[in-house]
A and B are shown apart, each in its own frame.
Chain A
Amino acid sequence: MLASILQNLFNAFQWGSFYSLIALGYTLVYGVLRLINFAHGDIFMVGAYIAFFIASAFLGMTFSLPGWMILAMVIPLTMILTALVGVSIERIAYRPLRRKGAHRLYVVITALMCGLVLENGNLALFGASRKSFPDIVDKVVYTVGDLSMTNLKIGVVISAILVFVILHFIVTKTKIGMAMRAISYDKFAVPLMGIPIDTIIVFTFILGSSFAGLAGLLFAMSYPILDPYMGALIGWKAFIAAVVGGIGDIRGAFFGGFLLGFVEILVVAVFPSTFRELIAFAILMTILCIKPTGMFGVAGTTKI
């Protein structure tokens, strides 16, 4: 009994790590721009596909490299290319709208449409056949007592925590993080202070998208079947997790993602698996009804 609880807890940590990694990207963009970047889940999907192509290219080379070396090359390449995708979406779709001062909701609709383009463009270009991700690193199973864990799962949890620490450091301790917080505080006064607002926003997108790419790579390594719609549902769920944590707050996104992971895994452990979404969302809605601005959110005041 205790062993199964521990095992489930560990799986929940891993599952929550993915949600956290994606929710962090959502939160970063939201915190700076007040924009729900609905294309983020699909950027995660694009990251998984980019990782798949890079890894296949490396594994298909004539001379064989050791696994850790390939991984050490795939991770930065995936992150850079995914960040490029995210930034180009920002440049092509969001920035002109922001320049025109369009209503916030129109930007959200554009984001939704960009997500659809990424999903269906992927489906149209590469076909509906599911791709299976190659094994880069050999699986090693560690057993501690009754608890079995693989090196990959440990890597996922550690990278989620690392990303959280890095982001927290950037946002709270560096100058660029200060600029981000300043933009979310007052978008109109910041350019007057000589802060390059567009550079900061591009940097935000680079951060968020590259971590989405990392999440995509880790997800593809853990569950090696890729399909073009894999980002949609996970994206929506991670966004809900970010809101429950309190959107615009790094800690909130991190804990919200883990909370959703825990709830889902524990529901599956107790109830039949078709109840997973039902109960998870019901719990999240209850939390939102009790604390309308999320767990870490601060209640906003309205000036009349």
Chain B
Amino acid sequence: MRKLTVPTILLALIGVIVFMSHQEYIDLYIQSVIMFMGVNIILSSSFNIVNGYMGEFACGHAGFMAVGAYVSSIVNVMLFTDDKVFGTALLSPEMAVYLFPFVLLVGGAAAAVTGLLVAIPSFKTRDDYLAIITIAANFIIISTIINIDIIGGARGFMGMKKVLFAMSDSFDVPWILLWVLIFTVGTVFIIRRYVTSTYGKGIIAIKQDEVAAEIMSVNTNKMKLVAFMLSSGLAGVAGGLFAHILGYINPNSFGILKSTECLVMVYLGGMGSLGGSVISAVLFTLLLESLRFIIPWMDTMLHYAHLLPDSYELSQVWKWVIIPLILILLMQFRPEGIMGNRELSDVFPGLKKFYSFK
């Protein structure tokens, strides 16, 4: 029975959240926060495969996210909606309910293939040079999308909302929330199985010492290829979910800044710690959203105390000043991140009864 505790809790949690959203006990804003948490968990944990477990310094994650977002959005719009560019729907909109997860996986697969752009140079190059290649890959992907005019170019792409409406017409369930939760749990599950398996120990061996791993018969090139493709594929799934949550995507929103956010989440949680990635993604999302309310409050307080001139008001721009400052301070006092290469079961040994992280 103990083995089934964690899955049961997760299932119950998903059920409760979906039920409460369906009954509108939770308003749309909180739903969207939960969804962004899920997307950020997928992003940070998938990024942790390359940056934490494999120890490479990649920083172009948002590019793969963009590929997944665009591919899954375009496939969905082509298949299920009448669009000005892509003509009438190829399939009936009722099919959207059943095919939606597969379309997301198609986006993920496309992103995984794009991951080859980084994986193949990584056979030869290491740390800083690889960092460059990933940044350049990010720039190249974004520029390519901007230059394809049929999918909107720099104007962005929309029409994903229609697919969601079609799904809700078939069965009245908050579908996108459900899929975000399922994919989040699935991603964490896959990554956990991957890095704890004998096969996945190869990437940890690469982190420790690449030459020694090669000598001890780890096929480093193959391991790197698998790790990069898995990481970018999951990022593509996250991008697809992100696109369907917002209903509008723009190539510029997947730039270096988004990659920086992913980096921040990974290093905030701790390299090579899956629990750390999940916790840091949740905390980061909460911090972002809470600053929306804290900044106006601070503004009123400071004006009340006459610390600010009347003409100046604290705008939301300060959000991106406060968050980096918090992170700089965190790095000073706890440079290894929240968890720092340990799992939850290492911090609280009592949890080992419920799940194992060998």
Contacts and interface: CB of A to CB of B under 8 A. Distances in A.
Given A109-B267, A275-B143, A285 B133 contact: yes
Interface string B330-342: 0110011000000
A113 interface: yes
A239 B143 CA distance: 18
A117 B328 contact: yes
B132 A288 contact: yes
B302 interface: no
Interface stretch (A12-20, A100-108, A150-158, A160-168): A100-108
A292 B324 contact: no
Interface in A92-119: 93, 96-97, 100, 102-103, 105-106, 108-110, 112-114, 116-117, 119
A293 B129 contact: yes
B325 interface: yes
Interface in A272-287: 274-275, 277-278, 281-282, 284-285
Interface residues of B, number: 44
A96 B328 CA distance: 11
Interface string B244-288: 000000000000100010011001000100000000000000000
Contact of B267 (A106, A239, A284): A106
Given A114-B328, A302-B211, A304-B211, A97 B335 contact: yes
A103 B144 CA distance: 35
B147 interface: yes
B211 A109 contact: no
A289 B118 CA distance: 11
B331 A288 contact: no
Identify whether the interface residues of A are mostly helix, strand, loop, or mixed.
Answer: helix
Contact of B131 (A36, A97, A110, A124): A36
Contact of B317 (A36, A100, A120, A232): A120
A250 to B, nearest CB: 17
Contacts of B336: 102-103, 106
A293 B133 CA distance: 12
Identify whether the interface residues of B are mostly helix, strand, loop, or mixed.
Answer: helix
Given A232-B256, A278-B140, A281-B143, A113 B128 contact: no
A103 B127 CA distance: 13
B29 to A, nearest CB: 24
Contact of B332 (A97, A278, A293): A97
A289 B132 CA distance: 11
B23 interface: no
A288 B122 CA distance: 11
Contacts of A93: 328, 331-332
Contact of A288 (B57, B125, B317, B323): B125
Interface string B93-135: 0000000000000000000000000000100110011011101
Contact of A113 (B125, B146, B327): B327
A53 interface: no
A117 B263 CA distance: 16
Most B CB within 10 A of own CB, among A105, A232, A247, A292: A105
Most A CB within 10 A of own CB, among B135, B137, B328: B328
A143 B315 CA distance: 49
A103 B52 CA distance: 12
A220 interface: no
A105 B324 contact: no
A247 B128 contact: yes
Nearest to A93: B328
Interface string A119-139: 111011000000000000000
B146 A288 contact: no
A114 B324 contact: yes
A185 B23 CA distance: 65
B331 A292 contact: no
Contacts of A100: 335
Given A102-B331, A102-B335, A285-B136, A120 B128 contact: no
7 nearest A-B pairs in the assembled complex, by CB-CB distance? A113-B324, A278-B143, A102-B335, A120-B320, A124-B317, A116-B324, A281-B136
Given A93-B331, A293-B125, 11 more contacts: A30-B128, A100-B335, A102-B331, A103-B335, A105-B51, A117-B324, A121-B321, A232-B256, A244-B132, A278-B139, A284-B136
Interface of A: 30, 36, 93, 96-97, 100, 102-103, 105-106, 108-110, 112-114, 116-117, 119-121, 123-124, 232, 236, 239-240, 243-244, 247, 274-275, 277-278, 281-282, 284-285, 288-289, 292-294, 302, 304
16 contacts: A30-B128, A96-B332, A113-B327, A113-B331, A116-B320, A116-B321, A117-B324, A232-B256, A236-B135, A236-B139, A275-B143, A278-B143, A282-B140, A285-B137, A289-B124, A292-B125
Interface of B: 51, 57, 121, 124-125, 128-129, 131-133, 135-137, 139-140, 143-144, 146-147, 209, 211-212, 215, 256, 260, 263-264, 267, 271, 314-315, 317-318, 320-321, 323-325, 327-328, 331-332, 335-336
